[in-house]
Chain A
Amino acid sequence: MKIKKLVVTVFSGLVLSALSVAPVMAAEESDPTKEQFIPVLTYKTGPFAAGGSGFAGGMEDYFTLLNNRDGGINGIKLVWEECDYGYNTERGVECYERLKGKGLKGAPAFQPLSTGVTYALLERAAADKITLIFLGYGRTDATDGRVFPWGFPAITNYWNQSTTKVQFIAQREGGLDKLKGMKIVNLHLKHPYGIETIPVWNAMAEKFGFEVTHIPVPWPGIDQKSLWLQIRKIQPDYVINRNWGISCTVPLREAARIGFPRDHIIGVWWCGAEEDAIPAGAAAEGYIAATFHAVGTDFPVVNDIFEYVYGVMKGNIASSRVGSVYHLRGVSAAIVTTEVIRKAQEKYGVGPISGEEFRWAMENLDLTAERIAELGATGVLPPFKITCADHEGGGSARFQQWDGNAWHFITDWVEPMKDITRPMIEASAAAYAKEKGITPRSGMSMGSDCG
């Protein structure tokens, strides 16, 4: 009897509190003409929650910062809604459908944070006139904006990243000619994301005379013992760690077991976070990973996030993760998004921005070093300039090393080899255009000069 009473009390209490909460939410809603809606696709559940939660937290922290410190963008408040899809492509598509129509003019841009969802959304987003931004992930050939007007692999794509890794190895070994005869293992997840760089590695191997072995890691990559036996037989000079989530950490432990030097493992930037290194413990010491943004809390923008966001208890993740790799990647993504909105407001007037207006602003975005300094983000992300033909806009990467406690930069910005990647990107984009019956843009098109 007592228990029953208790259950009834707790349950009715829950219902009542839920009901009392609902009107409060309604009261907070304000003028939609003064709000900019931004969809946030994330995964705080599922196998890759470490990356998804940090990225979304960083993005939302920066939006909160702009709202609390500046009152939004030119007085337009940023509002957003999360949709958790657990890195499941099918659910990602549902999230896109759920969020695309929200806000006065609909969602201006999506950042899916998954190569699979990006592939699935490219055509949908183009049909719905919504911009897709994929900072540092696939699909690489969307760099050719003449074929992909709505897709932006901004700052850097996978193929250029792979060339910076070769540049980095060459720098370390003392010149590109030292690559000859070298053995490199491309340890990649058996997943479209992992496979995407194989052609560019083959092209570079042919050009520079090194030998590349592609070893696929079966999804989800928790057990890699047999693969590392194979690597031990090959005796490679370098191993490229192109995995995601737990499969990033396993190679470090396996390498320690067979005595392979950790500073000869070079990770993709999705394998270069604290969450990837810490679980490996001492085995991670010396591990090197590529990145396209900074790590740490030593930036004015991060200090502002502490003051205006966490200071008023509005933080979106644990405060100990502020300034971590994924958090700053989210902050960088939010800086790009909000700067594009600012640019669109300059042209189309202060107010909510539509997908088409966002697309124009993105294609004409020139994020200069001065502007980044004004944002207090010098060093957080590199300056870059997008054009119709080049939806990437940068391409260089930096390399960081794990010292057992934190990531430290060991190089300055390393330039990509666009002479190798650009023709491949154009060929791949042209094949896509042919298959889909798209005429690549030329001349003045959609408000930009496409040559």
Chain B
Amino acid sequence: MLYRETGQFKTSYKKDMAIFPIRQDRWALIATLIFVVVGVPLLATEHVIAGYLIPLLIWAIAAIGLNILTGYTGQLSLGHGAFMAVGAYSAYNLAARVPEIPIILVFLLAGLIAAIFGVLVGSPSLRIKGFYLAVATLAAQFFVEWVFATFPWFVGGAASMVIDTPKMTIFGYQITTTLDNYYLVLGFVVVGTLYAKNLVRSEIGRAWMAIRDMDVAAEVIGIRPLYTKLSAFAVSSFYGGVAGALYAFCYVKSVDFTAFDLFVSLKVLFMIIIGGMGSILGCFLGAAFIVVLPIILNEIAHLFAGQIPSAMLSNIEHMIFGGLIIFFLIVEPHGLARLWMTAKEKLRLWPFPH
């Protein structure tokens, strides 16, 4: 009933190809946008913004990046943490060494450097496939960690190899409060998501999916595997790099070489597996599941402080979280996004299913 499409006629090709062909979806999206821009600062506490939303948005960008590579192009990567690290360290070096560059440009340039690195890492993908490619990207992961742990030049010579991010200003306005950081991240998320959504609907997106579904067949119908695969690597690591830079500048504000280790790569991979491969919405759902859900479980457990021994409280989070992962993978192996799709299909037909 909610999704009744009666009367929504598509009278032009343009309308037929809109991102959100259903009117209700468009409204929901506009409402969400208004809510995150106006509603969140009015309603949410600083803790919710700084502790939940900023990391959620940043990890969602990272997940979009990996989803383009793994979910849409079918190239399994265990090196996404490395791309994030390259982005974070490039942004630091750009911002600290050339303070004249505007900070938004710094993030974009950091993404670009990560993209170049991603193309280098991805170049063997023409010859090696599947799990073997995963191992090759794993090498990038270890290489990057080693570089940032070994050469003090990248951290501005700090003895502890930790970078403290410099101050950020946009047109003379200094980004200091939690809300400033939130809006900055939100801006990147909105633009980045829209761009990614359109990319995967465009010619290149279809080429990526053709490569994913069967690379030989794709080659036969005239898709260049080299260009397609490397462009996926470039776009993917661009998003990863921007996410890494935002993570360093807008969230933790101090990163070291252990901040983007293999666990980070796996974390992003889990996000897209649980959220949904080949779905932009899935990136947000997956990021929420992996990043925010444990915190909420932890907070709920602490409502019972005093009744349950504190060591037990800490472990409840891990026990329930592990159980939920198994539960959702059994219920819907294609991820949370597919659950939403199924629900939507049902709602469109309700109350008269065939």
**Contact among A97, A196, A435 for B96, CB-based, below 8 A:** A435
In contact, A123 and B160 (Cβ under 8 angstroms)? no
Residue of A83, A98, A192 ringed by the most chain B CB atoms within 10 A: A192
User: Which of A91, A195, A435 lies at the interface centre, i.e. has the most chain B CB atoms within 10 A of its CB?
Assistant: A195
Q: Write the A127-159 contact mask toward B (1 if CB under 8 angstroms, else 0).
A: 100000000001100000000000000000000
* Residue A124, interface by CB 8 Å: yes
Contact (Cβ within 8 A) B304 A82: no
Give the chain A neighbours of B302 by CB distance below 8 A.
81-83
In chain B, what residue has the closest Cβ to A158? B160
Q: Does B318 contact A (CB under 8 A)?
A: yes
Q: Which residues of A contact B315 (CB under 8 A)?
A: 44-45
Contact B164 A90 (CB under 8 A): no
Q: Which of A86, A94, A101, A192 contacts B256 (CB 8 A)?
A: A192
Chain A proximity mask over B157-183: 1 for CB below 8 Å, otherwise 0: 001111010110000000010000000
Determine if B259 and A89 form an interchain contact, defined as CB atoms under 8 angstroms apart.
yes
User: Which residue of A45, A90, A98, A436 is within 8 Å of B47 (Cβ)?
Assistant: A98
Q: Mark A93-123, 1 if CB is under 8 A from B, else 0.
A: 1100110110000000000000110011011
Give every chain B residue within 8 A of A409 (Cβ-Cβ).
Answer: none
With contacts A139-B160, A190-B149, A192-B161 taken as known, whether A94 is within 8 angstroms of B46 at the C-beta atoms is no
Q: A81-B305, A124-B253, A127-B176 are in contact. Are A191 and B167 (CB under 8 A)?
A: no
CA of A89 to CA of B304 in the docked complex: distance in angstroms?
25
How far apart are B332's CB and chain A's nearest CB, in angstroms?
A: 23
**Using Cβ atoms and an 8 Å threshold, which residues of chain A touch B160?**
115, 119, 138-139, 192-193, 195-196
Q: What band does the interface of chain B fall in when counting residues whose beta carbon is under 8 Å from A?
A: 35 or more
Give the size range of A's interface with the partner. 35 or more
Q: Does the CB pair B304–A21 fall under 8 Å? A: yes
Q: How far is the CA of A193 from the CA of B252 in the complex (A)?
A: 17
Interchain CA distance A82-B176 in the complex, whole Å: 28
Is there contact, CB below 8 Å, between B314 and A97? Answer: no
- A123/B51 in contact, CB under 8 A: no
Partner of B310, one of A101, A115, A316, A428: A316
Bound form: Cα–Cα A115–B158 in Å: 15
List of A residues within 8 angstroms of B46 by Cβ:
97, 101
A 415-445 to B, binary, CB cutoff 8 A, 1 in contact else 0: 0000000000000100010011100000000
The 18 listed contacts between A and B (C-beta, < 8 Å) are: A82-B302, A82-B310, A83-B298, A84-B298, A86-B314, A89-B252, A93-B50, A93-B251, A94-B55, A97-B51, A119-B162, A122-B164, A123-B164, A139-B160, A192-B256, A195-B159, A428-B159, A435-B166
Apart from A116-B162, A195-B161, 7 more pairs, CB < 8 Å: A45-B315, A45-B317, A82-B310, A94-B51, A94-B295, A97-B46, A123-B164
Residues of B within 8 A of A (CB): 45-47, 50-52, 55, 96, 149, 156, 159-162, 164, 166-167, 176, 251-254, 256, 258-259, 261, 295, 298-299, 302-307, 310-311, 313-315, 317-318
What are the nearest 6 A-B pairs in CB distance?
A84-B314, A94-B51, A97-B51, A44-B314, A97-B50, A192-B160
